[in-house]
């Protein structure tokens, strides 16, 4: 891809993921609104191919992932499609789907450039797999997250069981007990919970303003993947979360202690 400041489109209008390069920013836009951006094999292939192309591309200094739907970032993997595959005994296709999904999660966890997810609305299961492993997890006050896999007889997958035991938020320490509680209960975290637990790194007011600002900035030094090394004007300090929102995080902490410890 040649260096310029205009959008370089690499996907067609009909695809469920729109990919472009804008001002040194690799942009991934989830666009399957009727399914709340539930991930299917086509979406996994598009995202993984884009990340692979940008990994060594000096023109791309950061990756920005967001949804075109105001209702959801990503509601998870396409469980219905997987279930249909099992019922129809298409075991190989189902196994391939999960293999692709988990490899993508690993690629994101080891990505050498800032990976910025803008989470506005619901994020569950596989949606956390394509966001939580990145360097920057940006939430709005409309964001909420859960891992409901236990409710359908599955496991806490997409690497979240590993990450949840190690994430450090505003409370300043990791907590395996919190990870256990979250995985077993499917507790719904809201913005303050996500910041307190470490699932989110920053909170913003306007997702579109933030997206525009990130692209206008054109990308930080790719060697600085720590949140302290990057500062965008649209970001709001985690210390600015209102007391009413913080109460949700305190409730999460209390429930964690009561049910797990």
Q: Summarize pLDDT for 106-133 with one digit per residue, the tens.
A: 999 999 999 999 999 999 999 999 999 9
Tell me the percentage of the chain whose pLDDT exceeds 70.
79
Say if residue 65's pLDDT is above 60. Answer: yes
Exactly one of 78, 149, 175, 193 is catalytic; which is it? 149
Average pLDDT value for residue range 77-101: 91
| Residue 157 falls in the annotated catalytic set | yes
Residue pair 120/207 in contact (Cβ under 8 Å)? The answer is yes
| Residue 126 falls in the annotated catalytic set | yes
In this prediction, residue 30 carries a pLDDT of 98
Range in 50-64, 153-167, 203-217 with the lowest mean pLDDT: 153-167
**Better-scored residue on pLDDT, 95 or 247:** 95
Exactly one of 157, 175, 193, 217 is catalytic; which is it? 157
Alpha helix segments (H runs only) across the chain: 41-55, 79-87, 91-109, 126-129, 160-164, 176-185, 191-197, 207-217, 243-259
Average pLDDT value for residue range 131-155: 91
> What's the token pair of residue 21?
């390069």
Q: How confident is the model at residue 254 (pLDDT cuts 50, 70, 90)?
A: low
> Which residues contact residue 204 at a Cβ distance below 8 angstroms, ignoring those fewer than 6 apart?
118, 138, 139, 140, 210, 234, 235, 236
Q: How confident is the model at residue 149 (pLDDT cuts 50, 70, 90)?
A: confident
**Better-scored residue on pLDDT, 179 or 31:** 31
Exactly one of 26, 29, 76, 77 is catalytic; which is it? 77
| Residue 219 falls in the annotated catalytic set | no
Exactly one of 26, 76, 121, 126 is catalytic; which is it? 126
> What's the token pair of residue 167?
């994430």
Alpha helix segments (H runs only) across 149-206: 160-164, 176-185, 191-197
**Better-scored residue on pLDDT, 158 or 218:** 158
Model pTM greater than 0.85?
no
Q: Is the dihedral of CA 255, 256, 257, 261 positive or negative?
A: positive
């Amino acid at each position: 891809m040649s260096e310029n400041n205009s959008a370089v489109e690499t996907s067609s209008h009909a695809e469920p993921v729109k990919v472009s390069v804008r001002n040194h920013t690799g942009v991934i836009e989830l666009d399957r609104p009727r399914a709340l951006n539930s991930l299917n094999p086509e979406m996994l292939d598009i995202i993984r191919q884009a990340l692979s192309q940008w990994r060594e591309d000096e023109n791309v200094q950061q990756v920005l992932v967001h949804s075109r739907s105001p209702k959801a970032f990503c509601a998870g993997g396409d469980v219905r499609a997987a279930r249909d595959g099992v019922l129809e005994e298409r075991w190989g296709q189902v196994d391939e789907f999960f293999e692709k999904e988990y490899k993508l999660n690993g690629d994101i966890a080891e990505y050498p450039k800032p990976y910025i997810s803008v989470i506005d609305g619901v994020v569950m299961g596989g949606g956390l797999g394509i966001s939580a492993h990145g360097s920057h997890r940006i939430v709005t006050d409309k964001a909420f997250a859960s891992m409901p896999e236990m409710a359908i007889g599955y496991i806490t997958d997409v690497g979240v069981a590993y990450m949840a035991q190690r994430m450090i938020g505003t409370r300043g320490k990791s907590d395996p007990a919190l990870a256990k509680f979250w995985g077993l209960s499917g507790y719904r975290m809201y913005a303050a919970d996500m910041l307190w637990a470490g699932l989110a790194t920053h909170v913003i007011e306007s997702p579109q303003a933030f997206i525009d600002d990130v692209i206008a900035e054109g990308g930080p030094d790719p060697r600085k993947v720590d949140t302290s090394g990057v500062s965008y004007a649209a970001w709001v300090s985690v210390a600015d979360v209102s007391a009413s929102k913080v109460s949700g995080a305190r409730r999460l902490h209390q429930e964690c202690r009561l049910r797990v410890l």
